[in-house]
Chain A
Amino acid sequence: MHEVSIALGMLDELFRIAQENHAIKITRVKLKIGKMSGIVTDSLKFAFDAVKLEHPLLSQAEIVIEEVPLVYKCNDCHVSFNAADIYFPACPECGSGNLQLVSGEEQHIESVEVEI
């Protein structure tokens, strides 16, 4: 359950953000999690909701997770496409395996809603 460690790391970031913005409360946290990041979004949500309760600053924070699809770009014909998984992807236009990952590995805090 690395999601617990990640949730704990996230708390530190949120405290820092709250302090920088003189916030008295964090009400919402928006995350972007890639489909192939290796983070299980339900587990992360569960872990965050459990650890936030100890901290008045965060106890009412709602976590909103946007799952980012796996997108590749073909280096040969430059087409972009969504893929179901990372195994043996091939370009649907030209069949090339010479691809670059455009998105799908994100593990980002996008924004935080604070009360000041």
Chain B
Amino acid sequence: MCDTCGCDHEQSHTHSHETRTVDVNQSLLKANEDAAVSNKKHFDDKGILAINLISSPGSGKTTLLEKTIEALKDKISIGVLEGDIETDLDAERIRAKGVPAVQLTTGGACHLDSAQIHRGFHSLEHQLHGKNLDVLFIENVGNLVCPSFFDLGEHVRIVLISVPEGHDKPVKYPKAIRTSQVLIISKSDLVQHFDFDLHKIKKDALALNPSLKIIVTSAKTGEGMEEWIDFLIHRLHR
């Protein structure tokens, strides 16, 4: 190996190295995108509907999952992958509802990626003992920016914005809105306590993504839960 440049040539150094331009023209996130394609194929082969929930910390993702499980546990088979930076508190909350869950801790990273989903899904399968899933929920790390860059191979991406966060979030976080198919405006029971303009948030979100489905929910009053469950069932039988 030559000292000057670290090449494989035995002695140093009379030869020169050629410079060449390689056309690449591919996504910066190709490795993740390839893994997402293979996750999706895996889910399709098994007939599983995969749903990726993204939001800021504390918008109500786990609470929505708990309510969804209560409503559907006896009708369909549900599994959950829980993404957090630390702890398995959220996976514990899901297991307490009687549904298999695997906690994925990223150890600092602010989003899940497709390789983590692949590994997580296989360890979830160990808990299923051969039973098939109808729906796999993936709760992403609480963060409204980074998760929107990382396709996990999901069929549906759902973004939650809760009332206390304010109605200006769609215009401040356009990528989350543009890459999702559903917006859940959560904690609607708090609307009267905040200057929250439901009309404006819907208008802004639709301007960014005209085909977005918007559901207004409250885990407290139950508002919108029926619409949400109907949406899920329809999507499942599509």
The residues of A with any CB-CB pair to B shorter than 8 Å are 1-2, 5-6, 9-10, 12-13, 17, 21, 24-25, 27, 31, 36-38, 56, 86-88, 107-116
Contact of A86 among B6, B28, B29, B208 (CB under 8 A): B208
Contact A13 B30 (CB under 8 A): yes
State the Cβ distance, B37 to closest chain A Cβ, in Å.
15
A31 to B150 Cα, complex, angstroms: 18
Offer 26 A-B interface pairs, CB within 8 angstroms, sorted by A. Answer: A2-B110, A2-B145, A5-B111, A5-B150, A6-B149, A12-B31, A24-B5, A31-B28, A36-B174, A37-B175, A38-B175, A56-B6, A87-B204, A108-B28, A109-B26, A109-B27, A110-B24, A110-B25, A112-B22, A113-B21, A113-B22, A114-B21, A115-B5, A115-B17, A115-B18, A115-B19
Identify which of residues 181-229 in chain B touch chain A, using a CB-to-CB cut-off of 8 Å. 204, 207-208
In whole Å, how far is B10's beta carbon from the nearest beta carbon of chain A? 15
> Which of A12, A25, A109 gathers the greatest number of chain B CB atoms within 10 Å?
A109
Chain B positions near chain A (C-beta within 8 angstroms):
5-7, 17-32, 109-111, 113, 145-146, 148-150, 171, 174-175, 178, 204, 207-208
Instruction: Report whether A112 and B28 are in contact in the complex, using a CB–CB cutoff of 8 Å.
Output: no
B234 to chain A, nearest CB (A): 27
CA distance A111 to B175 in the complex (A): 25
Q: Among A13, A36, A107, A113, find the residue whose CB has the most chain B CB atoms closer than 10 A.
A: A13
Taking CB atoms, residues of chain B closer than 8 Å to A21 are 20, 22
Contacts of A13 in B (CB 8 A): 24, 26, 28, 30-31
Selected contact of A111 from candidates B24, B113, B174, B207, CB within 8 Å: B24
Which 9 pairs from chain A and chain B are nearest by CB? A2-B146, A38-B175, A109-B24, A115-B17, A107-B28, A24-B7, A112-B22, A113-B21, A88-B207
Which residue of chain A has its CB nearest to the CB of B208?
A86
Separation of A89 and B198 alpha carbons in the complex (Å): 22
Instruction: Name the distance in Å between B178's Cβ and chain A's nearest Cβ.
Output: 8
Contacts of B175 in A (CB 8 A): 37-38
Query: Distance (Å) between the CB of A28 and the closest chain B CB?
Result: 8
Q: How far is the CB of A20 from the nearest CB of chain B, in Å? A: 8
Q: Which residue of B lies closest to A26 (CB)?
A: B22
Does the CB pair A38–B148 fall under 8 Å?
yes
User: What CA separation (Å) do A25 and B19 show in the bound complex?
Assistant: 9
Least CB distance from A3 to B in Å reads 9
B17-A24 in contact (CB<8A): yes
User: Quick check: A87 and B24 within 8 Å, CB to CB?
Assistant: no
The reply to whether A38 and B28 contact each other, CB–CB distance below 8 Å, is: no
Name the residue among A1, A9, A17, A21 with the largest chain B CB count within 10 angstroms. A9
Q: Which residues of A contact B31 (CB under 8 A)?
A: 9, 12-13
